[in-house]
Amino acid sequence: MKVIKKTHQMQIISDKLRMQGKTIGFVPTMGALHQAHIELIKRARKQNDIVIVSIFVNPLQFGPKEDYNKYPRPIKQDLKICRNEKVDYVFYPPVDEMYPKDGNLTFVEVTKLEDILCGKYRSGHFRGVATVVSKLFNIVKPHNAYFGEKDYQQLKIIERMVNDLNFDVKIIPVPTVRDIDGLAYSSRNLYLSDKERSVASSLYKSLVFCKELIQQKKYTLKQCIQKSKKYLDTLLSSVEHKIQYFEIYDNDLNPVPQNLKEIPSGKRIRIFVAVFIGNTRLIDNIEVTV
């Protein structure tokens, strides 16, 4: 495994690999790798000749009051995981290698999809995500790139960006990977205290609860959400918490009718939740077939 820190060097390597007819699988990360990242890497390893993982904590996607400076950066552990998973190259650039010293003047935005869910509360976040991912695609030049469904809005934004801007890369979604109690793996789980971690699986439990209400078809979607939020508040009553949103969209992030009878039978929709547990913001989602 080789660690590459220069963008130009990474581009030269990728060009040579492509000329040799090698398929490149790419897993973009911000480090602090966990089981969900490992699943992305394993999928890439199975489906490609070469696997490249990027580790870059992207300042553009953090707001002024967010956790950029304290975001975990256990690089030695991350590189060990990559070696164990037989990653071929780790692209690990410093910030001044990715962005001009006088500031970035060029950005990528995916309008409409950025304005809901997390984007509604994290202004500029997805502009930062789309910008850095577009740069990484131009640097790494992958054939296939792997993204987890836990960050579903991010996944759909990247898919739309790739389609709209004709990137020569295939986006491969990978189902959410969960701990034994249902909590979706996230680098931010490291911020939770033991007490907070003991109740964090409540996000998933509330999503399942809402799914069951929807499938009963006794209530409107608004009623399902209200009951699910109340249930989640009860589950989290032992810790400081705040529900930021609990919402439902279809799988393309379009609004869905409140009356379940107006939704075609067999249509797949998705429930989304974001919660602060203490100071830690967690998100999750699950799919429901109506």
Sign of the Cα pseudo-torsion (109, 113, 118, 121, in order):
positive
- Please state the separation of Cα 56 from the chain's center in Å: 14
What's the CA dihedral at 100, 106, 157, 120 to 10 degrees?
Answer: 90
Q: Which of 34, 37, 125, 143 is catalytic?
A: 37
Contact 106, 134 (CB under 8 A): no
Retrieve residue 174's tokens. 């990978």
Please name which of 144, 143, 164, 160 lies closest in space to residue 152, comparing C-alpha atoms.
160
3-class SS at 41? helix
Contact 212, 218 (CB under 8 A): no
Radius of gyration over alpha carbons of the chain, in Å? 20
β 268-277/241-250 pair status: antiparallel
Helix (H) or strand (E) holding 286: strand 280-289
* Count of other CB atoms within 10 angstroms of residue 147: 22
Please name which of 80, 92, 87 lies closest in space to residue 56, comparing C-alpha atoms.
92
Q: How far apart are CA 112 and CA 279, in angstroms?
A: 28
Q: How far apart are CA 115 and CA 44, in angstroms?
A: 31
Contact 36, 122 (CB under 8 A): no
Residue 241 falls in the annotated catalytic set: no
Q: Which residues are catalytic?
A: 37
